[in-house]
Chain A
Amino acid sequence: MKKILFCLFSIVAFLGPFSIALAQKAPTICAIHPFTGRFAFAGIEGSAAMQDVVDMANEAGGVNGKKILYYWADGEYKDDVGIAAFKRLHAQYGPQVMFGQSTGMTKALGPEIKSRYKVLYSAYTMTSEAANPKENPYLFIAAPTYAEQFGVLLKYIAKEKPGANIAFFYSDTEFGREPIAAAKEMCKKMGLNVVAEEVSQVGGVDLTTQILDMKAKKTDYCIFQGFVSNPIAAVIKQSKDYGLNAKFMGTFWSTEKQLLNELGPLAGEYVGVSAYSFSYQSDLPMVKKIMDWTKKKYPTIEYRSQSYMQNFVTGLLFVETFKRADKMKGGLTEGNMVKAFQSIKNFDVGGLMPPITIKDNSIPVGRVYRGNAKTMRFDPISDWIRMD
């Protein structure tokens, strides 16, 4: 018995320092960005944002004196490639937090992240499946879910025109269909009428049927989901020819400069919801900091997209989580990381968003913006609207 106890004691004494060393390993972020493929417009900006957050944090002393490490890979916006990259980065660097590229990848990896990898994880998605801490405490989104974004727009409509006729115009994809059921429920509660549901391919050009259907159903507001630019621009332009007098709205991914450029003189016809401020709102301290940094590091870049802002906010949350978890007993353990993340309340991000309070692993707040045809920018037309 004494021998057994002696052996156990020796093992504990020998492995003890290693386990402490493991627990105290450097704070590490790994990300899979869609650097190529059809979502590259977001991935290129997103990878730059995450790098910038890490560099800024390291310049400011890192996580309580420890330098943050950041590694990333291209996921090509393909689920199998993204999952392979996730496993490769996890095996190579053993990060405490990871960032993924899509809804599909998040859904596929969700169960394994919960049962096996146990890393805090966010992605380029805003699906409600990634914001359900009871089901999976490791997944979060640094934005409102798509359904919550619909909620922000519907709240705005209910205030502007009670009892309005709404049409949902969405793509025949997971991204397009995801919030529709929840949005219909919200319409019922707010006294709005869903009069039409139009489905189109991403990039579709012949939209006569859908436009005439919306006209026949006296649509007041048409809300797009699941598109980045086309067919939104095409619908808005063609609706003028067919006499459809609806107001056009959209969610996060279409509330971007690219759409305004495509709309040209009709840019003022589009209203969108976003969770973040725009890079030309330089009166905001964090936006100023980002643009000063961009000027210094990448002198040719004058505009930072909303995907940049999404990754930047996520990066800020990662860093803040590291700082909080590092002060806890045991350091950057999986349990501490989740606790630290969920403890974030009124976290000031310098105007990129209102002070962040994590609720059900998402940030249910958004703001309504209208396109401006003169400046080709989005101007805020509401205050921040909360959905909790």
Chain B
Amino acid sequence: MRCGDFKENYIKDEEIFPSSLAKFSLAIFLVFLALFPFIANAHMLYIANMIGFAIIGAIGLNLLTGFTGQISLGHAAFIGIGAYTSAILITRCGVPFWASVPLAGLVSALAGMVIGIPSLRVKGLYLCIATLAAQFILGFVFVRWESMTKGITGIHIPPPAIGDLAFDTEKTFYWITLFFVLLGVGYARNLIRSKMGRAFVAIRDRDLAAEIMGINLFRYKLSAFAISSFYAGVAGALWVSFLKVVTPEHFPFMLCIQYLAMVIVGGLGSVIGSIFGAVFMTLVPELLNVLSDVVKAYQPGMEKLIIPFKQVVFGFLIVGFLIFEPRGLAEIWNRVKRFFTLWPFSY
């Protein structure tokens, strides 16, 4: 049982690391992340990179949807803008990867602000449709603006490098992904406890009341769209340099749904929920693959029945979360923490 852990003021209440145990646990986790590339094979590192991109994208969507309450169905398009911006800057303008990532984020943020303008007049399902329109318009642009995007052929991108050191494998790229994930998580965690973060939450809970309290809706709603799209753009830029190719088919509408599922399963309005959601949505299908491999090894032939079933299992898992824990994996994590905080006197 952790004793003496009570807060005497709001500043203490808002601390990122509320106890030395939290700091210690995080340090252990960071050590594990640093050692991971040395113990994992190429496949595990590929998955780790994909989880990293998903975390960055999911945090972006959670800031907009979970914290500010603005539903977006255009997230895949913002990821696409980041991916194409980065690819075009690298291949056409000779901009180094390191500069292309923030620039991709900025271009996506700009696009996000433009798409976010309707949010000042419409909300809920109507905003959904407005952002959905953006998804389709931008998808069309990716295919048809051939002089810039090379249409369906796509753009091949060289791997990032510093001097002779090329980040062209899962292992080397892992460090880039890890850096941006830590940066993204750290910024988001700080943002939500700032004035802007509190404004986002106020808008989500009741925008009229927030405006009466003096919150500038125009500024904060557009800021939420810009920050969310910035994250999406960075995720897209990283993803494209990792895959080394970008085509319009990488950003289908289903990708938006996948990201929404991530933030819902992980926990709306929670940074750690975005992380859990991204890990869950990326890792569970892989674990189901491993399960079908085990079945294949012990019951040859049965895998042909099991493999189609894994999508059903995945669907049931998501529905199960929505029914039994609507606040997502983040809430389960909080309950586990509370249990151990009071252990062995938990009730």
Contact = CB atoms under 8 A, between A and B. Distances in A.
Interface of A: 35-36, 40, 44, 47, 73-74, 76, 79-81, 83-85, 87-88, 90-92, 104, 107-108, 110-112, 115-116, 172-174, 177-178
B243 A173 contact: no
Given A74-B292, A174-B249, A111 B43 contact: no
A104 B243 CA distance: 11
Nearest to A37: B311
Top 4 closest A-B pairs, CB basis? Answer: A88-B43, A174-B152, A87-B43, A91-B41
B250 interface: yes
B143 interface: yes
B129 interface: no
A35 B307 contact: yes
B341 to A, nearest CB: 37
A93 to B, nearest CB: 11
Contacts of B310: 36, 74
B170 interface: yes
A280 to B, nearest CB: 25
B247 A36 contact: no
B169 interface: yes
Contacts of B304: 35, 44, 47
Contacts of A111: 156, 244-245
A80 B42 contact: no
Interface of chain B, main secondary structure? helix
Interface in B303-328: 304, 307-308, 310-311
Contacts of A177: 151-152
Interface string B252-267: 0000000000000000
B223 interface: no
Interface residues of B, number: 32
A83 B50 CA distance: 11
B308 A107 contact: no
Given A35-B308, A177-B151, A80 B50 contact: yes
A83 B152 CA distance: 19
B286 interface: yes
B267 to A, nearest CB: 23
27 contacts: A35-B304, A35-B307, A36-B310, A47-B304, A73-B289, A74-B289, A74-B292, A76-B311, A79-B249, A81-B285, A83-B243, A84-B47, A87-B43, A88-B43, A91-B41, A92-B43, A104-B247, A107-B154, A107-B245, A111-B244, A111-B245, A112-B244, A173-B152, A174-B152, A174-B153, A177-B151, A178-B152
Contacts of B43: 84, 87-88, 90-92
Given A36-B307, A110-B245, 7 more contacts: A35-B308, A73-B293, A74-B292, A74-B310, A76-B285, A107-B245, A116-B169
A112 B42 CA distance: 13
Contacts of B42: 87, 90-91
Nearest to A129: B153
B243 A108 contact: yes
B46 interface: yes
A115 B244 CA distance: 13
B94 to A, nearest CB: 19
Contacts of A85: 289
A87 B170 contact: yes
A112 B285 CA distance: 24
A108 B244 contact: yes
Nearest to B143: A172
Contact of A74 (B245, B247, B307): B307
Given A84-B47, A88-B43, A104 B308 contact: no
A79 B249 CA distance: 9
Contacts of A173: 152, 249
Interface in B133-162: 143, 151-154, 156
B47 A36 contact: no
A156 B50 CA distance: 47
A108 B245 contact: yes
A115 B158 CA distance: 12
B245 A83 contact: no
A269 to B, nearest CB: 29
B63 to A, nearest CB: 23
B250 A79 contact: yes
A107 B46 contact: no
Nearest to B290: A88
A174 B247 contact: yes
Interface in B152-182: 152-154, 156, 168-170
Contacts of B143: 172
Contacts of A110: 245
A347 to B, nearest CB: 30
Name the residue among B248, B286, B289, B304 with the largest chain A CB count within 10 angstroms: B289
Interface string B274-285: 000000000001
A298 to B, nearest CB: 11
Nearest to A75: B289
A12 B48 CA distance: 36
Contacts of B168: 115-116
Nearest to A48: B304
Contacts of B250: 79, 104
A85 B43 CA distance: 8
A80 B251 CA distance: 12
B42 to A, nearest CB: 5
Contacts of B154: 107
Nearest to B50: A80
A107 B248 CA distance: 13
Contact of A84 (B50, B152, B307): B50
Contact of B286 (A83, A84, A92, A115): A84
A346 B259 CA distance: 51
Contacts of A35: 304, 307-308
